[in-house]
Amino acid sequence: MTEQTARILFVDDEPTILSILEKLFSNEKWDCHYVSSANEALDFLQQNRVDLLVSDFMMPEKDGIELLIDVKQHYPQIIRLLLTAYAKDEKTTRALSEGYAQQMIPKPWIDQELKEIVRSALRQSAQQKKYSQEFQALLNTIPLLPALPQSYSQVQSCIHDDDVDIEKMATIIGLDVSLTSALLHWANSALFGQRYHVDTIKKAIIVL
């Protein structure tokens, strides 16, 4: 596969925010594009390859989460980040837990932190592309299933021990498929920017 310049699509209905983002990323090597609505974003995606989508939450007509749901369904290879001032909103929590957004970025953001999150997400995208588009789509669409209460309490108990036993914790998590899925999902998410795929429970625990 020929290496291509990473392409990012930013979506926000506030012209001021788009202007700030454009200035912030103006010196980066990435191919950045800026649109002011979910419908504009979908039109752009029909015509262009995109590696990373960064969308605002509260927008008229179609909000950011509705956009991310559409993107997850039709363009699952795209990594999806949600930019929001409503971090504790129920819809934001649902977007993360069901995998519509792979990470939430709070407004107002810290410039260097935002850049590093974007950089990590693009590293993740590049790593996934080394395998196949199908593999990339699979990783980006795994929902986070709820863990069983018993597993949760056992893991909590391990965490609160003075001497945390990672091996014991990995064994407990390994008995719960949903908890294992959630752990591996987050360890491989854009938030942590791993250069290599995290494929064991123990490695995931260490990363997190």
Average pLDDT over residues 113-134: 81
- What's the rounded Cα separation, in Å, for the pair 110 and 189? 20
| pLDDT tens digits, one per residue of 15-35 | 999 999 999 999 999 999 999
pLDDT on residue 1: 35
DSSP of 175-194: T-HHHHHHHHHHHTSTTT--
Four-CA torsion 96, 183, 196, 168, nearest 10 degrees: 160
Evaluate the CA torsion angle 112, 113, 117, 123 in order and state its sign: positive
Q: What is the pTM of this model?
A: 0.67
| Tokens 């509260």, residue located | 58
**164 has a pLDDT exceeding 80:** no
pLDDT on residue 13: 96
pLDDT on residue 191: 60
Exposed/middle/buried for residue 17 (C-beta within 10 Å: 0-12, 13-18, 19+): middle
pLDDT on residue 142: 65
**58 has a pLDDT exceeding 70:** yes
Average pLDDT over residues 86-101: 79
Average pLDDT over residues 39-55: 97
- What's the rounded Cα separation, in Å, for the pair 182 and 198? 12
89 SS3 class = coil
